[in-house]
Amino acid sequence: MLGSSESRVPKILSQISLKPNKMNSTFYLNKAKECFKNNNYPDAYENFVNYFDSLDDPSTSTPAVQLGFTKLVCRIGIVLEEANDTEELLKIYLQAINFFPNNYIILNNLGGYLFKMGQIDIARTYLDKAVACSKNYLPAEKNLMHCKWRQIPRWHFKMLNDVCRNSAYYEAIKKVIGRGYKNVIDIGSGCGLLSLIASEDPEASVTAIEENKTLAKMCENVMKENHRSNVKVLNCYSTKLTEAPAPCNLLVTEIFDCALFGERMLETLLHAHEVLITEKNNFKIVPCGARVYAAAINYNDFQSFRVTNEIKELHLSQMCIRQVDAEPYEAEDLSRKNIEYLSVPVKVFDLDFYDVLEMNDLANDDLKAYSRFIEFECLEDSTLTSIAVWFELDLDEEITITTDPRVEQRVKCWEQAVCHLVHPVKVSRGETVQFEVALVDSQLKFYQITKPDECVSCWLVSKDVVSFLNDKVLVKEMLKLSYKFQQADLVKRIGDLNKPIMDLMPFPLLGFTLAATLQVKFYTAIKTVPEFHYVDFFDHILTINNIPQGKMVVVENKMGHNSAMCGILKYMKECKACLIDPVSSDGSINPIIQLKEKIRSDQPDIFMMPLKVTVKIVLIYSDQLETWNVVNDQNVFNYKIAKFMNEYTGYEHPDLDSDFTYTDYSNPITFTVDDKDYVKKTQNILVTKTGHINGLYTWYEMQFYSNIDFSAKNSSHIKKSCYLLEHRPVELGDLFRVVMRREGTYIDFRLEE
């Protein structure tokens, strides 16, 4: 809540009628400082505006004044963001930038807000300037990197580096152009690889269509760099065209997701048949067809879809807990997963891209009138949890590529689609299980016919809660921590166990366990409004564990400055112990960690957990890092593409799962993540064997209490990060210096020669 009860948001310059006099500048400045000190943000802002307007040049104000104004603008921005007042927020930020065009903090905050609002290209403009104004401001560097990734998703790197895919397309396109089909339209051209192949023939005329603005511009630059004057680039959705932009007797495209249909390929191909292909009686399509396969599997690895870990201490094995709003399928590299194939593959669809009638039936299958029925004959007694999907793509009559995970020579830029059953079913050897398959809004869906669902009540929770409860090591440490609360040493340290505790983990396992065993009252938090149904889920856990109502209090948790944890801080004053969640499931530092210092200063006797958070760093080499993050022109027939794509690489690869493969080239070194917001630390790291390195692999470790430690290295709940290094040779005994920078929740690691 803002300091002024009469004006909840600041007034903008255009609304301020008072024109300040230069003689009054000191008055306005003192008034601004006084209002800011009293949290009266609207009046503080108005007086700062009057003060700067009284100066010939606002940049002549002192650095301390400019810093105070910056802090005020950032706090107002947080309040307005919480209030969803976008119009006022943009006016405040833009007005502040008019005063101080090179204020990298305000530029970054505005860019970060626009990024969250989905205005990626506009956000990029402000973030570029923020980085240019301060080369060492970590929040701007991180935000700019994420902005680039949204402009060009990272799967483009894998696609361009897939030599198997590229070579097959190259051979098929060259073959058909050699037969005289030279009027080409490339749909979904990306940066232009397929257009480059087609335009090698100087007699070919190519129109490249790409809806992504950044990629379309890059495609134009790639064509110029490779001297392709016979390629025209259009930035639009192909399906929005009402007439062909040029004659077309060859359609080239690669608009397929891991389940083939997800990028609206049917809609796109049908439109192309109707509008874009102009030589109706004599044309070619590359690719010309596809087959989709499915197999029944038992998915034994960690699942984000449902809770499979049985936590008997809370009777969770008696509950069906699964992810809310889960996608119909997830993209997984099944060759790296622990799965059992329970059936031979079944052909689900066999598509001819020249057959307009069949594709039209599929594309308009709103009532599942064109759905297919498939049967899996089970090979053994087991549990059927999921269905694996892959496809074969016919580029022409002779050239076929596959995404079959069992085939080593498959194309690898696509993973496989995994459709998890709502509820796993027990199956027996020789048993037949039937499914109905349909396309719903361009997404493949499986409907169970035999052994239909018998569950009468499912509890729907967030992906974070599922991954937390499925992390057996983390759950084990949380249970060990709850046992510690019953031992003399911890009781003595905490004192009065009749006072409540605060459990801010994604799922308050410690709180529930202590409430069930010791009748301890606990507070927990709901982080976002859509999770309101957690209250019912939590209440049910209270009921089945005979925990009296009132032992759990749910606190709203908004991460802003004013309400920012105000609810949590208010209730924290009643607590003797607090368990925070220092690392988010995506591997980033949780903003809540910034509260530790304030909590300790307000309540020096409170027992804060974890006691210690550290980051482990090791030098590594991984082929995956280069495939996923850096385009090599050798993989694209030495066309000049890399210099354009690699501008969007970034210096970090986050969200790495435990199945990420790499080779260690050092022993781990350790940095402590303390309560300070701004930190720069350095430490030596020693190369332990001769070879090559290209990354600094990092993971978090936490000490919750004596002998209660958790490492995220093999965690299924917390992802890992790798900071990219230039590929280089190293010798045994080489010594490097690792630099850790941290600003608030932003952290990174670099090598210093």
Domain boundaries, the chain: 13-151, 156-286, 289-461, 463-609, 612-622+662-752
Q: What is the pLDDT of residues 22-52, one digit of tens each?
A: 557 889 999 999 999 998 999 999 999 999 9
Instruction: Please state the rounded mean pLDDT for residues 420-435.
Output: 93
Q: Enter the DSSP assignment of 11.
A: P
Report the candidate in 645, 654, 495 with the shortest Cα–Cα distance to residue 587.
654
CA angle 253-210-240, nearest 5°?
95
- The band of 570, judged by pLDDT with boundaries at 50, 70 and 90, is confident
Q: What is the pTM of this model?
A: 0.90
pLDDT score at 562: 41
pLDDT mean across residues, the chain: 89
Q: What's 348-409 look like in SS3? A: EEEEECCCHHHHHHHHCCCCCCCCEEEEEECCCCEEEEEEEEEEEEECCCCCEEECCCCCCC
Spatial distance between the Cα atoms of 126 and 139, rounded to a whole number of angstroms: 13
pLDDT score at 14: 43
Strand (E) or helix (H) holding 42: helix 41-53
Q: 174-183, 361-370, 742-751: lowest mean pLDDT where?
A: 361-370
pLDDT score at 407: 95
pLDDT score at 527: 60
CATH superfamily of 612-622+662-752: Hnrnp arginine n-methyltransferase1 (2.70.160.11)
pLDDT score at 626: 92
Strand (E) or helix (H) holding 233: strand 231-234
- Sequence length of the chain is 753
- The band of 8, judged by pLDDT with boundaries at 50, 70 and 90, is very low
- The band of 13, judged by pLDDT with boundaries at 50, 70 and 90, is very low
Instruction: Please state the rounded mean pLDDT for residues 352-370.
Output: 80
Q: β-strand 522-526 against 652-656: which pairing, if any?
A: unpaired
- The band of 324, judged by pLDDT with boundaries at 50, 70 and 90, is confident
Q: Say yes or no to pLDDT of 345 above 60.
A: yes
- The band of 207, judged by pLDDT with boundaries at 50, 70 and 90, is very high
State the distance between the two ends of the chain, measured CA to CA, in whole angstroms. 49
**DSSP track, 391-460:** EEEESSSS-EEE--TT-TTS--SS-EEEEEEEEEEEE-TT-EEEEEEEEETTEEEEEE-SS----S--EE
Name the percent of the chain lying above pLDDT 70: 92
**DSSP track, 685-748:** EEB-SSEEEEEEEEEEEEEEETTEEEESTT-SSS-EEEEEEEEEEE-TT-EEEEEEEEETTEEE
pLDDT score at 204: 97
pLDDT score at 559: 44
Residue 152 has phi, psi (to 5 degrees) of: -135, 100
Name the residue with higher pLDDT: 635 or 443: 635
Name the residue with higher pLDDT: 223 or 499: 223
Name the residue with higher pLDDT: 309 or 393: 393
Which listed CATH number (3.30.519, 3.10.450, 3.40.50, 1.10.10) goes with 463-609? 3.40.50
pLDDT score at 141: 95
Q: Say yes or no to pLDDT of 491 above 80.
A: no
Name the residue with higher pLDDT: 560 or 287: 287
Chain-centre distance of CA 298, in angstroms? 27
Q: Evaluate whether 13-151 and 289-461 have a shared fold.
A: no
Which class would CATH give 156-286? alpha beta
Q: Report in angstroms the alpha-carbon separations of 495 from 228, 513, 538, 637.
A: 76, 19, 27, 70
CB 286 within 8 A of CB 250: yes
Which class would CATH give 289-461? mainly beta
Tokens for 562, please give them. Answer: 């004013």
Name the residue with higher pLDDT: 683 or 21: 683
Q: Say yes or no to pLDDT of 411 above 70.
A: yes
Which class would CATH give 13-151? mainly alpha
Spatial distance between the Cα atoms of 558 and 574, rounded to a whole number of angstroms: 20
Spatial distance between the Cα atoms of 527 and 739, rounded to a whole number of angstroms: 33
Q: Say yes or no to pLDDT of 657 above 60.
A: yes
Residue 164 has phi, psi (to 5 degrees) of: -60, -50
- The band of 183, judged by pLDDT with boundaries at 50, 70 and 90, is very high
